[in-house]
Structure 1
Amino acid sequence: MTIDVHDNSGDVFRPNWQLKCIFAVVGLLNFVAALDATSISVSLPTISNDLGGTATEAFWAGTSFLVASCVCQPLFSLSSDIFGRKFALWTAVVAFTAGSITAGLSHAFPQMLVGRSIQGVGGGGIIALTEVLIADLIPLKERGKWFSIRSGTWALGTVTGPLIGGGFTQSSASWRWIFWINLPFCGLGLVLVPIFLRLKRESVPLRESLAKVDYVGCALFVASLTSFLIPLTWGGIMYEWSSWHTLVPLILGVAGLAGFAIYESMVASQPLVPIVIFNNRTVSANYIGCFLHGVIMWSVVYYLPLYYEGALGYSPVIAGVSVFPESLTVAPISVTVGIISAKTGSYRWALWSGWPISALGLGILYLLDAHTSIAKWVFLNLVPGIGLGILYPSVMLAVQAAANTKYLSISVTMTAFFRVLGQAVGVAIGGVVFQNRIKSEFQDHVELGKTAQDFAQDASSLVQYIKSLPVGSDERRLIEDLYAKALSVVWAVMCGVAVLGLVFSLLTKAYTLNQTFSSKQGLEVQASEPVDVEAKTDSRPESQISEATTVVGTFR
């Protein structure tokens, strides 16, 4: 049976049971990926002590996940086009499971770093393919609501991650349960993905598909991006920023990425990342928005719990609870924005309100110090949570509304890619600001010992030094004050980043969300099931839909 699949204003989109099951599985996988990415942050000092690791190795246990996740996302998008979304997502879950087991069994930091990197590969695949599946299965006008489901499960994992990590660290249970807790969720994913993710796609011989792969582009992309990200993570911690160990791979990475862009635009016949997707002003502006949103989000996720532990002296569990005022606002606000966008068919209002509110919220975090009361920090953290929650679905909708449907899967993947790239860069930016500020503060206080200055290279290791000092001692109170002052500069920098995001958002044009729905890999439904969407004419100008065609799918 053949059915034309369309969508436009006034049409009723009725999701069937299979679609709901798919999104339940996808939500589960996003929850566990977010849980793992954030739960380790409060446990790194304990893991470092147990495995005999250095501060650098402990830092890498967190950032290796982000680096691997960022590098692999476009590759998963490519593999899903060749082998299908189901196989690519199942492979990502396998990688995440293998990485969890490797990290959980580790008895030395090299093994831990291998496990975390493998987890990052799987996590990157889960994140990227979730975005692609939403674009494949949901008409654009409805995507805000369904994307909010993904945002909600991710936010839930982000909220509970530090709490669970801190609980395992403080209790008699081992920190290894941070990784073991992933396995039941991964097991469900491995079983349910093949059952429910039955999608139609054009049948192309494997040899023909593999012949079209941009192998040179893939190699250039992976090598160059890795060379760029690695020195960002160790700069100022393992090596000085002026050291050749940092500068050489950083320069090579930038040069390699420039070479990759030239190769993709002038040589590759089937490019991994078609440069043409950046030709649209709205798309490019909101890719930058995704990047800046990631910078801010991960700076907050990483450094805010350290503020509670280092400046206020909270335990890991209480520090995890303390991020609730901020993190718990992201999911409901994101859902609300998605629903309003679906009803109004517009998204620019969210961009132009989300960035100013985020800037305001990050700016007022500057008021946090070592003596901030509970009531004060609770209310201060609500504002940035609201702003960042508004931005979660709106930057995605802006990209997809303006994207050329011929390149929809890679266009959608790049939104996730730039957000994760921003997360990796955000931790590095926060680290540079913190190190420079804390060193400056220490130089003004000669009574601080050399040991404290050595620990100032890393915010996490300095927390452990502060906690080793006697409670109420002059040295501890002084360093707590300096710790809060140094982090206040981080919040000020992030406020500036949000203002930059607002500037770029002004380049966003208004595209209608009432667009013809096309999908390369849609649902396989039974002939007896009702048609989900009715046909109407796409209201976009012809110049905006020259590549967009209504897909006629064969349903079996």
Structure 2
Amino acid sequence: MDHPKTTESGARATHHENVDLPLGYEDPHQAALEDNPDHIEKITASVILSALFLVTPILVQLSERLGGEDISFWIPSGWGAAAAVGFSVAGRVSDIFGRRVVILFGQFLTIVGGIIAATANSMDQLIAGEVVLGVSIGIVSVAYAGISEIVPNKFRGIALAWTEFNLATWATPGTLLATTLLDDASWRVSFYLCIGYGAFSFIGTFLVYFPPSHPRPDGKTKWQEFKELDSIGAFMFISGLAVFLYGLNSGGNTYPWSSASTLMPLILGVSVFLGRLVIDPLFPWYLFKIFREFSMLIVLVFMAGMVFFAAAALNAQAILYLHTPDSVKIGIYSLPSGASQFLGSVLIPVLVHYIKHVHFQLIFANLMQTLFFGFAALITPNNLGWLMACQFLAMLPFGWITLLCYTTASLNVPQRDLGVEIGLIGTFRSVGGAVGSVILSSIFTQVADKEVPQRIIRTATNNFIASEDIPILVQAVKLTIVGVPTAQSMVNLPAQVWGFYVEATRLGYAHGFRITWIASIPFGVVATLCAVCVRDPSKYFTNHVEVHLEESFKRKDIDAESKENVE
């Protein structure tokens, strides 16, 4: 039997087939508890700069916020599906080839995707650019694993909060910035930002991020391990998801739910998608057997993501349909939503290792999200303050939930599969967001499309409007709601009477949102139940560091310390 021995860094390591492995390579719990120095090693300049450059390209999500709303279903959905594929594939590949080369490739795709989208002259080219950006964000999000490795366990919440800081900084004024660009500049500006940040991050990562090579305990080369990956399974994943989302979006919109054109894509897509999960070794099944430490996190982040990403698209629409078409006002009224994401994604996670009791934090955060999205059902055209309060309190927990899931999983999964673990959580988060956006948006659209004309017709009947004039009236009022200034001229009505129709239309949209938010509650309940099942990882918040960077900054620090000791 091989016995653990001590490495140069002070950590014990296991011996496997003549290869010395870091202690956390196979047992993260043993590493966290036994390799726990009394004092935290000095965090070098290389670690700080690596954290900066690794996470900056996550800002490519800004493109989806600014350039992808209300243009085409396949812009946000294509982005989400591509991101899900990028997450799953990149995580496993980074465990084979190391984080550096994978992250650099993802940052390069950020630049390519930004160029394709920024120069788009057709919807197809814009969708193609978003798909490339989606793949890039999935690949670059290997940075979550890279950052988790290079900081002490107790500071993983803080380090991962830094990743969200880069996005939340833009999320706070995101809607206001988006509407301003669309009104006064161009949506292309968002993609120029992607290109700039991608280039900045690519150069920075290339210069400062040098993690050590991953050990190969089985004697296989990197290419031998890479060839064992199931490319057919990866194709099944993306094709199954794309077909499923198409069927989901078509139901009740393009085709009736009971038609073969809706049912066949749904059945075929989910069958292919689930089939991929069973046969593809990108998803090692032993991870799913870690039920309370990992599997519950996957379901939890999927369910929570379904509601959050749908809300991210619907919140601005609620302000538009219920209150004002003024783009600047929509941006201002959306500020509480962005501010809450900053608070929940950045400030609260910094305190995770101080608060501890991670399972209780997850329960509270999911209950909070479920409760206040439920309270959003009480929003009406006459209570703007309630809408803003619900947006703030309902959007706050998701970043907190996500980082708790990343942190918990990274403390429970062996270091050899850290990339896979991060990829799986990112995959299910993105898939949940794509599915939830389609489901809840479809519910709102279908309910509102029925309720709004009915309310207009009832109001028209009370005002003795001729039946042949009602279709034009319905069209005119809807256009007025979204800010078309000439719409009222389509019908000849006094301003006071016209106000009745506008109010009836807004009440119809409010009913659509009410049903939508009520429909979100079961997803939140499932997520909360999963949180109850999670095992608390707080005892592993130690001073253990998984990976020590091997590059010039680090070597200079070591040389300086050695010189001092000699003197």
Q: Which TM bucket (shorter chain)? A: 0.7 to 0.9
- 1:202 is the counterpart of 2:202: no
Listed as ranges, the matches of 1:39-438 within 5 Å are 39-42=66-69, 44=70, 58-127=72-141, 129-171=142-184, 173-202=185-214, 205-264=221-280, 271-282=281-292, 283-373=294-384, 375-438=385-448
Q: Counterpart of 2:405 in 1: which secondary structure?
A: helix
Structure 1 residue 464, shift from structure 2 partner:
4.1
- Tell me how far 1:478 sits from its aligned partner: 2.0
Describe the shift of the 1:527–1:96 C-alpha distance in structure 2 as closer, same or farther (beyond 3 A). Answer: closer
C-alpha distance in structure 1 between counterparts of 2:41 and 2:423, whole Å? 24
Cα deviation per residue 1:219-253 (whole Å; 9 max; x = unaligned)?
A: 33333333333333444334443333332222122
Q: Determine if contact 2:40/2:543 at 8 Å carries over to the other structure.
A: no
Quote the offset at 1:321 in angstroms.
2.8
Q: Is the 8 A contact 2:161 2:345 kept in 1?
A: yes
Following TM superposition, by how much is the alpha carbon of 1:507 offset from its aligned partner in structure 2, in angstroms? Answer: 0.9
Per the TM alignment, residue 326 of structure 1 is displaced from its structure 2 partner at its CA by 2.3
Deviations 1:259-309 (A, max 9, x none): 223324xxxxxx111111111222111111111221121122100001111
AA at the equivalent of 1:126: V
> 1:394 deviation in Å?
1.9
Task: Give the distance between the partners of 1:455 and 1:155, measured in 2 at CA.
Answer: 38
Q: Which runs of 5+ in 1 are unaligned?
A: 49-57, 265-270, 532-556
CA gap 1:404/1:81 in 2 versus in 1, 3 angstroms: closer
Shift of 1:167: 0.8
Unaligned runs of 5+ in 2: 1-6, 12-30, 461-469, 489-494, 560-567
Find the counterpart in structure 2 of residue 541 from structure 1: none
- Superposed CA offset, 1:393-438 (max 9, x none): 2222332333344422211211111111111012112122113321
Aligned equivalent of 1:3, options 9, 13, 36? 9
1:252–1:516 CA distance, 2 compared to 1 (3 A): farther
Instruction: Say if 1:233 and 1:14 are closer, same or farther in 2 by CA, change over 3 A.
Output: farther
Once residues 238 and 548 of structure 2 are traced to their aligned partners in structure 1, the CA distance between those partners, rounded to angstroms, is 26
Which position in structure 2 is the counterpart of 1:494?
520
Q: Is the 8 A contact 1:159 1:320 kept in 2?
A: no
CA distance in 1 between partners of 2:88 and 2:548 (Å) = 17
Cα displacement (A) at 1:515: 6.0
Secondary structure, aligned partner of 1:199: coil
Answer yes or no: is the 8 Å Cα contact 1:29–1:186 preserved in 2: yes
The Cα offsets for residues 91-115 of structure 1, whole Å up to 9 and x where unpaired, read as 2122222222212222221122111
The alignment status of 1:17 with 2:31, answered yes or no, reads: no
Asked if 1:38 is matched to 2:51, the reply is no
Question: Aligned letter for 1:68?
Answer: A
Contact kept, 8 Å, 2:451 with 2:509, in 1: the verdict is: no
CA contact (8 A) 1:452 1:465 kept: no
Assess, with a 3 A threshold, how the Cα gap between structure 1 residues 222 and 64 changes in structure 2: closer, same or farther: closer
Q: Which has the larger radius of gyration?
A: 2
The percent of aligned pairs where both chains have the same amino acid is 17
- Amino acid of the residue matched to residue 49 of structure 2? C
Per-residue CA distance 1:466-524 (angstroms, 9 max, x = gap): 77643854433322221122112222222332222111211112233236857478554
> Equivalent residue for 1:508?
534
> Matched residue of 1:82: which SS?
helix
Aligned mates of 2:548, 2:93 — CA distance in 1 = 13
Q: How far apart in 2 are the matches of 1:277 and 1:522?
A: 27
Q: Tell me if the contact between 1:201 and 1:521 (Cα under 8 Å) persists in the aligned partners.
A: no
Superimposed CA distance per residue, residues 141-186 of structure 1 (whole angstroms, 9 cap, x where no aligned partner): 2211111111222222333332222111111x22222322322212
SS at match of 1:213: coil
Give the conservation status (yes or no) of the 8 Å contact 1:290–1:415. yes
- Give the superposed CA RMSD: 3.0
Structure 1 pair 78–317 and aligned structure 2 pair: CA distance change class (3 A): farther
* Whole-Å separation in 2 of the counterparts to 1:7 and 1:530: 23
> Structure 1 residues 41 and 162, CA, compared in 2 at 3 Å: closer, same or farther?
farther
Q: Which amino acid aligns with 1:67?
A: A
Equivalent-residue separation in structure 1 for 2:506 and 2:487 (angstroms): 11
Distance 2:171 2:433 in 1: 13
| Letter matched to residue 259 of structure 2 | S
Equivalent pair of 2:306/2:432 in contact (CA under 8 Å): yes
The answer to whether the 8 Å contact 1:104/1:179 transfers is yes
CA positional deviation for 1:453: 7.9
1:331-382 Cα offsets, whole Å, 9 max, x none, are 2334443333223543112112112222222122122111224x44333333
Give the direction of change, closer, same or farther, for the CA distance of 1:206–1:277 in structure 2 (3 Å limit).
Answer: closer
> Counterparts of 1:297 and 1:237 in 2: how far apart (Å)?
23
> Does the 8 Å CA contact 1:93/1:189 hold for their aligned counterparts?
yes
Q: Which residue identity lines up with residue 57 of structure 2 in the other structure?
A: L
- SS of structure 2 residue aligned to 1:444: helix
CA distance in 2, matches of 1:308, 1:441: 18
Alignment check: 8 A CA contact 2:82 2:131 kept: yes
- Evaluate the alpha carbon distance shift between residue 368 and residue 280 of structure 1 in structure 2; reply closer, same or farther with a 3 A threshold: same
Distance 1:403 1:410 in 2: 9
Q: Which amino acid aligns with 2:119?
A: L
Question: 2 CA distance for matches of 1:247 and 1:452?
Answer: 35
Q: 1:85 to 1:368 in 2, by over 3 A?
A: same
Distance 2:63 2:155 in 1: 29
Tell me, in whole angstroms, the C-alpha distance in 2 between the residues paired with 1:484 and 1:467. Answer: 22
